[in-house]
Each structure stands twice: as structure tokens, then as C-alpha cells.
Structure 1
Amino acid sequence: MYFKGAFIFSLLASALAAPIANGDKKVKRGILSVQDYSQFQISDGVAGNALAEVQAKFPIDESDLASVDDEDLAIIKAARETAEAAETEAGGFNEAIEAAGGKKTTEGKALQVGKIKNKVLKLQLEVLALKIEAAKGEDNAEKLAEEQKKLDKNVATDKASAGQASQSVDFQGTSQP
């Protein structure tokens, strides 16, 4: 009897974990979860590897973007908005850099390096969302090219700062859509 129950449970669990069909397309279930900014930010540590850090925090398979779950897309967009707010709003990088005495102080430099890493986070999430939307049929090539150019510039700045101390800010926000 125990074996029969375990077998049925395992079949049910397998069915729930499998991709679901939507007509002829497979739709993957979401892989991302809502997190606080402190959990998905990448500004602590050192510069030089920001893009890989973002990709580790948001592990979306870019080989089949059309099948990215709508909930994952919403989380990506919300995380991007929070990363932007962490740059510009009260309690964010701009305010913290100014409070530290500017970019020339040790703390200000580390915050500036963190700000660039945060820009990579923000822009990679924007580019990823635009690519997902394009894969689903939205015409956004011009906006995608513009954001990709900004991302490339900030990735290059991050790489040029490789090994330098990077500091985050204690910003309150989430990836809640």
C-alpha cells in the first residue's frame, strides 16, 4: 500500500513539474522568485564580472526566450525598476555617493563602482525583458538596440574597473510585480 501511494505521489509531482502545453508551443513554468533588492543586487564585492553576476541571479535560458513564463518576465521587469530606483531615488547610489563626499573619496569610489554594477543589473534586465518580448512578437528592435548600447558601455566600464572594491547601498525594494 505504501509503495502504491508513493508511486501515485511521484507521478503527480512529475506532472506538476513538467512544462505545460499551450497549443503547439511548450510553456515553461516560472523559475524566478520574488526577492528583496538585497538578495538580487550585485553591487557588493569587486568590479569586473557584473554581467555574469546578473546572469547567475536571473538564470533565464536565452536559447528559447519565446517560452519564458509571463511571471518570470514580470519579475524581471519589477527587478529592473527596483534597480533603477536604487540608483536614483532617496537612499540610493546617487545620494550615497554625495553623502560620502563624492567619487574621489574611498567610500565614494566604491559606491561609484557599485553604481556601475547596479547599472549593469538594471540594463541587462531591461535588455532581457525586451528580448523576451521580441521573441513573443513585440516590435521593439529600436529600443532594444538603444538599451544594448548602454549595457555594453557599462559592462566595459565594469571590466575596466576589474578588481576594484564595490559597495552596495541598503536600498529597500523587491522584484514583486
Structure 2
Amino acid sequence: MRFSIALIAAAAAVVNAGVFTQKTYNEISISGGVAGNAQEEALAVFSALDLNDLANADEADKDFLNSVNQICNDAEDEAFNPAIDAATGEEADALQRGKIKNKVLKLQATIFKLMIEQAQGEDVTADMATEQKKLDNNISQDEDEAGNASTALSFDATTD
């Protein structure tokens, strides 16, 4: 009987483990390439998340999504903004497009985290509306630049 209980407990621990694994910023970054498809690229980063069962999402997944937000914010402040300030012309424009794609990734992570919290019974309606508005704005900016080069910047950070 003890073996059965131990086996069930071990299986439950595996089932309840988060779906995301630790990643570096450079591994999840969608800033490079071309503008216009940032939403699809961001969704691909988070494709392991079961959107049909958010109520059972693990705390580790919420931590991962929150850390994506944080490291994307840091990349914006510490990498993109100084590089854009130092650049001119098309170089600055391509960096700005990369920054917008970075924002789409950050905001999509935030939306998914809020969706999990909502599915788990938290009232995050106001936060969802605020963040969705920001996400929609950045997706629109990305789509307006569709086909134009987008510059990624290397940044040293890791998710939780």
C-alpha cells in the first residue's frame, strides 16, 4: 500500500510541475527578423501552456510568465532604449521595431499570467483590460511595420 501511495504522490508531483522550463532572454526573444508577426511569435513561445485548463496551471508557470515580463522590461530599459538613443535612421527604426516585438512578448506573458489568476478565482478584470489595451496597441504598431527589418539585441537574463 505504501508503494501505491508513494507512486501516486510522485505522479501527482510530475503532473503539477510547470510546463515551462528555465530559459535565457536570448532563447525566448522574438525581437529579430521582421516586424508584422510578433503576436504569432509570442504565442509560439508560450505554446506549452494549456489554455483550456488554466485553472490547473502550476505556480511555477505563473512565476515563469512573471519573470518573462521582468526580463523583457529589463531588456527594454537596459538594452533597447540605450541602443535606440545611440542610433539614427533605419538602424534606430529597426531597433524600435525589435523593442515593440519585445513588448508584445512581455505583454502576452502578462496576459497569460492574468488569465491563469482569473481561472483560479482571482479578480483581475481591471488589470486584464489595462494590459490587453497595451498589448493590442503594440501588436498594431508591429503590424503597421510588417515586412520591415527588426533588430534583436542580446541580453543577459534568465527566467525563473
TM category, shorter: 0.7 to 0.9
In the alignment, what sits opposite 1:98?
85
Which among 55, 58, 70 is matched to residue 43 of structure 2?
55
CA distance in 2, matches of 1:131, 1:140: 8
CA distance in 1, matches of 2:90, 2:136: 26
Question: Deviation at 1:139?
Answer: 0.9
Which structure 1 segments of 5+ residues have no match? 1-11, 22-26
> Is structure 2 residue 55 aligned with structure 1 residue 66?
yes
Q: SS where residue 52 of structure 2 aligns?
A: helix
Question: Deviation at 1:58?
Answer: 1.3
In the alignment, what sits opposite 1:166?
150
> Using CA pairs below 8 Å that are at least 6 residues apart, which structure has the higher relative contact order?
2
Question: Deviation at 1:30?
Answer: 1.8
Which among 136, 142, 149 is matched to residue 133 of structure 2?
149
Question: Deviation at 1:29?
Answer: 3.1
Which structure 2 segments of 5+ residues have no match? 1-6
Question: Deviation at 1:107?
Answer: 1.0
CA distance in 2, matches of 1:83, 1:31: 20
> Which has the larger helix fraction?
2
In the alignment, what sits opposite 1:8?
none
Which residues of 2 match residues 1-177 of structure 1 at below 5 A? 20=12, 28-59=16-47, 60-88=49-77, 90=78, 92-101=79-88, 105-176=89-160
Identity %: 46
Instruction: Name the TM-score, length of structure 2 as normaliser.
Output: 0.88
Return the letter of the residue paired with 2:87. A
Q: SS where residue 38 of structure 1 aligns?
A: helix
Question: Deviation at 1:28?
Answer: 4.4
Instruction: Name the TM-score, length of structure 1 as normaliser.
Output: 0.80
Return the letter of the residue paired with 2:31. S
Structure of greater Rg: 1
Q: SS where residue 81 of structure 2 aligns?
A: helix
Alignment RMSD = 1.8
Per-residue deviation, residues 5-24 of structure 1 (Å, max 9, x unmatched): xxxxxxx8xx96x6x39xxx
How many residue pairs align between the two structures? 151
Per-residue deviation, residues 102-137 of structure 1 (Å, max 9, x unmatched): xxx111111000011001011111111111111111
CA distance in 2, matches of 1:85, 1:135: 28
Q: Which runs of 4+ in 1 moved over 4 A?
A: none
